Chains A and B, each alone.
Chain A
Amino acid sequence: MPQFRKSISGLLMALVASAALADATLLNASYDVARDVYKDFNPMFQKYWKQKTGEAIELKQSHGGSTKQVRAVADGLEADVVTMNQSNDIEFLADKGLVAKDWAKKFPNNASPYTSTMVFIVRKGNPKAIKDWNDLAASGMQVIIPHPKNTGNGRNTYLSAWAWALKQPGGNDKAAQEFVGKLLKNAPLFAAGGRDATTTFMQRKMGDVLITFESEAEMIAKEFGKGEFEVVIPSLTMQTEFPVALVEKVVDKKGTRKQAQAYLEYLWSKEGQENAAQNYLRPRDAELLKKYAHFFPPVKTFTVDEVFGGANKAFAAHFKDGGSFDQIYLSK
């Protein structure tokens, strides 16, 4: 359980760090699997900030399910910055007045310093010859995904399949819903979360294909060995964003606006971008994307804004009670 060891060492580091004297403290409320990214990024920023201003800064991390995290911030967790994996979670904070309404414009690239995409993981040698989304809906195929209604990972998969179906000749919402319905029928279960889906597919050997973030593929290689699976990139897939924002109310109260702003901006620096790339997240920096091209093959992506008119709209149409997901299951 290397993850467990990591979290223990993370805890110890946090304890050691808080013992040191600091001029300012920042709390970063983040999503679950961001641990690896910020574990490396935080010391880099501390060093940079010390050199630039002479100020010792203490950085604390809080990780959890993205939606749980923003609810905690809304309920009073004093996070200076939020770094999430779904923009509708930040929208929620904007609605509550904790984050600026135009948060997506406060930083470049839609306030998302790096991206990932949804890819297929298939068994060694691709025995079922899976190439694209339509193969997943073929009869007799078993598809492993996390719960599309309750997990971000599952929602991205659902929307990717929907968008692909829309772009097919004669594609419309009705055809897309039918296609996604067929695909979901091939799911023998809905995993509790992204990592649970990975365990089900890799360790319990269930299913023919797992759909997950490209960044997770490298984690799987580390955990289960590179030769055990292959990555298949579909003809069209979602570019998933990882939006960041300043929690205005908290930084004003704590007087940490300057530091928090610099912290988030530093994600776009060469060092910050390279750290993302090393964690298998696609950097926005074109040069670095080229440098790490062996991790990041070319891929045709869409964004939720382009196809669904924004994360909130997509959520309401598909995942709210009575949305398209419910219709697929309850019409039977």
Chain B
Amino acid sequence: MATKTHRVLPGFGLALGYTLVYLSILILLPLGGMVLKASELGFGQIMDIALGERSLAAFRVTFGASLLAAAVNAFFGLIVAWILVRYSFPGKRFVDALVDLPFALPTAVAGITLATLYAGNGWLGQYIEPLGFKIAYTPSGIVVALIFITLPFVVRTLQPVIEDIEMEVEEAAATLGASRWQTFSRVIFPSIFPALLTGFALAFSRALGEYGSVIFIAGNLPLISEITPLLIISKLEQYDVLGATALAVVMLVLSFILLLTVNMLQWWTANRYKNNEPLELAAAKAAGGVS
């Protein structure tokens, strides 16, 4: 495959040029401008802003809540996606459409609704709070809002991949003597794992930047439930555009590192499972046929 290949579609140069220009205008230009603006401050000053007590607390809350929300969605989103693809039940199309609602709803509406629902006198809050769990106006509230906002990412990423798994593979594993758990853990899971990682990464990065829904349920107490985007707004409120960009750049760099890690992990697992080990072989392995 190393030799020059003839491409089926012409116009590679044009398409690549278009892609680069498009991405530059849409992504690189605004982000570059941001970095340029932040560079008016020295590296030391940026670090001072990022390592302040309040900023550090906000980073902890933001990254912690986002990771937790993405993890919860990776688990439950997988179940939802699996059920939506593999089973048919009355109202399936309706449920399928429900999954996209968090995309369409203005985030502030989501935040206000969730706060009302989980507040001490809300439909859910009135039963949860007597048990000793406070959700609205605590960091848990942030996680709840982020889970709501990011659910579609995991489900929509997984659905087509699960659809692509042929029933025959499962049947083959079964005929070769694999138990149900073996079939899932050694045949199905490896083939959807890269997509699960992508969904997780998308959900995570979306959660990091979320502002509109979170501020209505977080409580916004300094050092406890302030998220980084709120600190950025706080800086803008002080007309401190430079400070705001500094925080934004730090957040961008941290997210980029995390996303890169996830991408590499995904690339690594995809290579390991997809290229080296066709599903049929995995099925046989799972059943103990090939060691």
A residues neighboring B (CB under 8 Å): 67, 71, 92, 147, 149-150, 187-192, 196, 199-200, 203-206, 315, 319-321, 326, 329-330, 332
Q: Say yes or no: A189-B240 contact (C-beta < 8 A), given A150-B230, A204-B122, A205-B120.
A: no
CA distance A71 to B233 in the complex (A): 13
CA distance A61 to B42 in the complex (A): 41
Which residue of the partner chain, among A92, A147, A326, contacts B54 with CB atoms under 8 Å?
Answer: A326
- State whether the Cβ of B289 lies closer than 8 Å to any Cβ in chain A: no
- Is the CB–CB distance between A204 and B119 below 8 Å? yes
Could you tell me if B112 and A190 are in contact, using CB atoms closer than 8 angstroms? no
CB-CB under 8 A for A321 and B240, given A150-B230, A196-B216, A330-B53: yes
Q: Does B179 contact A (CB under 8 A)?
A: no
Interface membership of B243, Cβ < 8 A: yes
Q: Which residues of A contact B120 (CB under 8 A)?
A: 204-206
7 interchain pairs, CB-CB under 8 A: A71-B239, A189-B220, A196-B112, A199-B116, A204-B115, A321-B235, A321-B240
Chain A residues near B119 (CB-CB < 8 A)? 200, 204, 206
Decide: A192 and B220 in contact? CB cutoff 8 A.
yes
Contact: A329 with B243, CB < 8 Å?
A: no
Q: B residues within 8 A CB of A206?
A: 119-120, 137
Q: Which residues of chain A have C-beta atoms less than 8 A from B238's C-beta?
A: 315, 319-321
CB-based nearest A residue for B53: A330
- CB distance A188 to B122 under 8 Å? no
Residues of A within 8 Å of B220, CB to CB, are: 147, 150, 189-192
Cβ-defined contact, A150 with B234, below 8 A: yes
The verdict on B223 contacting chain A, using a C-beta distance below 8 Å, is yes
Chain B, range 54-76, C-beta contacts under 8 Å to A: 54
Contact A189 B216, CB 8 Å, known A67-B236, A150-B237, A330-B53: no
Chain B contacts with A in 225-260, Cβ cutoff 8 A: 225, 230, 233-240, 243
Chain B contributes a number of interface residues (CB within 8 A of A) equal to 31
Closest to A320 in B: B238
Among A147, A196, A205, A319, point to the contact of B121 (Cβ < 8 A).
A205
B30-71 vs A, CB cutoff 8 Å, 1 = contact: the mask equals 000000000000000000000011100000000000000000
> Bound complex: CA of A189 vs CA of B116, how far in Å?
14
- For B137, give its contact among A67, A150, A188, A315 (CB under 8 Å): A188
Chain A neighbourhood of B230, CB < 8 A: 150
User: B222 within 8 Å of A by Cβ?
Assistant: yes
- Between B120, B122, B218, B233, the greatest number of chain A beta carbons within 10 A of the residue's beta carbon is seen for B233
Residues in B with CB closer than 8 Å to A147 are: 220, 234
Please determine whether B112 and A199 come into contact, CB atoms closer than 8 angstroms. yes
Q: Which residue of B lies closest to A188 (CB)?
A: B137
Most buried by B among A147, A205, A332: A147
- Confirm or deny: B177 has a beta carbon within 8 angstroms of a beta carbon on chain A: no
Contacts of A203 in B (CB 8 A): 116
Find the residue from B52, B215, B218 having the highest chain A CB count within 10 A. B215
Give complex CA distance A204, B137 in Å: 12
Cβ of B216 to closest chain A Cβ, rounded Å: 5
For B215, B233, B237, the residue with the greatest tally of chain A CB atoms inside 10 Å of its CB is B237
Q: Which residue of B lies closest to A74 (CB)?
A: B239
B190 in contact (CB, < 8 A):
no
Type the 1/0 row for B80-97, where 1 means its CB is closer than 8 Å to any CB of A: 000000000000000000
Residues of A within 8 A of B98 (CB): none
Given A205-B121, A206-B120: A189 touches B219 (CB 8 Å cut-off): yes
Additional 17 contacts, C-beta under 8 A, given A204-B136, A206-B137? A67-B236, A71-B236, A188-B137, A189-B218, A189-B219, A189-B221, A189-B225, A190-B220, A192-B215, A196-B112, A196-B216, A199-B116, A204-B116, A204-B121, A321-B52, A321-B243, A326-B54
CB-CB under 8 A for A330 and B54, given A189-B219, A196-B216, A204-B119 = yes
> How far apart sit A150 and B222, CA to CA, in the bound complex (Å)?
12
Partner of B219, one of A67, A188, A199, A315: A188
Q: Are B219 and A149 in contact (CB under 8 A)?
A: no
- B237 surroundings in chain A (CB, below 8 A): 67, 149-150, 319
Q: Which 4 A-B pairs have the closest CB atoms?
A: A189-B219, A204-B119, A189-B137, A329-B222
Decide if A190 touches B115 in the complex (CB within 8 Å): no
Residue in A192, A199, A205, A321 with the greatest tally of chain B CB atoms within 10 Å: A192
Contact of A190 among B54, B221, B233 (CB under 8 A): B221
Give the nearest-CB partner of B212 in chain A: A192
Which of B120, B230, B239, B243 lies at the interface centre, i.e. has the most chain A CB atoms within 10 A of its CB?
Answer: B239
Residue of A nearest to B122 (CB): A204
Residues in B with CB closer than 8 Å to A150 are 220, 230, 233-234, 237
Per-residue CB contact flags for chain B residues 114-128 toward chain A (1 = under 8 Å, else 0) read 011001111000000
Nearest residue (CB) in B for A192 is: B215
Task: Give A332 to B219 CA distance when docked, in angstroms.
Answer: 19
Is B239 a contact of A92 with CB atoms below 8 Å? yes
Q: Which residue of B lies closest to A65 (CB)?
A: B237
**B243 partner residues in chain A, CB cutoff 8 A:** 321
